[in-house]
Amino acid sequence: MTAVPLIGVLALQGDVVDHMRALEAAGARAVRVRRAEELDAVQGLVIPGGESTTMSKLLEIFDLFEPVKKRLDAGLPVFGSCAGMIMLADEVLDGRPDQRSFGAIPMTVRRNAFGRQVDSFETEIAVEGIAGDPFRAVFIRAPWVERVGEGVQVLARVDSGDGEGGEQGGRIVAVRAGACLATSFHPEVTADARVHEYFVGMVRGADAGPVE
């Protein structure tokens, strides 16, 4: 794997520019992905936040859903934040009946679990695999993970204030499963690039070069 991997950001909706900035700060080259041929060139992919039902529709309109799924199934490293987490789940609660997701991570995700836009918040959390001070996590109409399947590593939890969240305490807000990383929060809106550095490290360690 090249020392400076080429990582795409799905550029149909969401905070594409800030993800690209964070990836470059983390040592990668970042490009927008809107077409299948652009997807073929990348060694990793970020699926940003936004609105998951709209993103699902746009992927179909741009004929990108199946190409993305094919590459994810083949082991392309992917990082999904907020709506991107929803898109990676194999089960989505409170979604539209026609909403599609990639099923790349065996987990159940609840849309808008932390509430509406007015319920957005920030808090400091410990993220497994990220050294140093706690990470300042920004939650905007965020989902949470209600169930994880075999092979899914829980990286972070946060207290939702509902008294639920299992024996470990708190709702699951960051997970990893193989080459897939997902967070409920938006690390790209902060100046802290450590989550993106973690993902760039995943891409460097993977064998998922451009499609020949």
**Residue 169: predicted pLDDT:** 64
Task: Tell me which of 19, 146, 180, 186 is the catalytic residue.
Answer: 186
For the segment 27-41, the average pLDDT, to the nearest whole number, is 96
Measured between alpha carbons, how far is 123 from 177 in angstroms, rounded to an integer?
Answer: 24
For the segment 207-212, the average pLDDT, to the nearest whole number, is 49
What is the value of pTM for the model shown?
0.90
User: pLDDT digits over 90-140, tens only?
Assistant: 999 976 777 789 999 999 999 877 765 545 789 999 999 999 999 999 998
Q: Where do we find the tokens 């193989």?
A: 178
Measured between alpha carbons, how far is 47 from 13 in angstroms, rounded to an integer?
Answer: 9
Task: Categorise residue 141: left if φ over 0, alpha if ψ from -120 to 50, beta otherwise.
Answer: left
3-class state of residue 114 by DSSP: coil
Q: Where do we find the tokens 């997970």?
A: 175
Sorted by where each starts, the structural domains of the chain and their CATH numbers stand as: 6-204 (3.40.50.880)
User: pLDDT digits over 68-102, tens only?
Assistant: 999 999 999 999 999 999 999 999 997 677 778 99
Is 196 part of the annotated catalytic residue set? no
Closest CA to 68 of 53, 51, 87, 54: 87
Task: Tell me which of 146, 180, 188, 196 is the catalytic residue.
Answer: 188
Q: Residue 160 above 90 pLDDT?
A: no
Is 186 part of the annotated catalytic residue set? yes
CA distances from 94 to 57, 91, 97 (A): 17, 10, 9
For the segment 11-35, the average pLDDT, to the nearest whole number, is 95
Task: Tell me which of 82, 146, 180, 196 is the catalytic residue.
Answer: 82
**Residue 207: predicted pLDDT:** 56
**Residue 136: predicted pLDDT:** 94
Q: Residue 210 above 70 pLDDT?
A: no
User: pLDDT digits over 173-199, tens only?
Assistant: 999 999 999 999 999 999 999 999 999
Is 82 part of the annotated catalytic residue set? yes
User: pLDDT digits over 51-61, tens only?
Assistant: 888 899 999 99
**Residue 168: predicted pLDDT:** 54
Helix (H) or strand (E) holding 23: helix 16-25
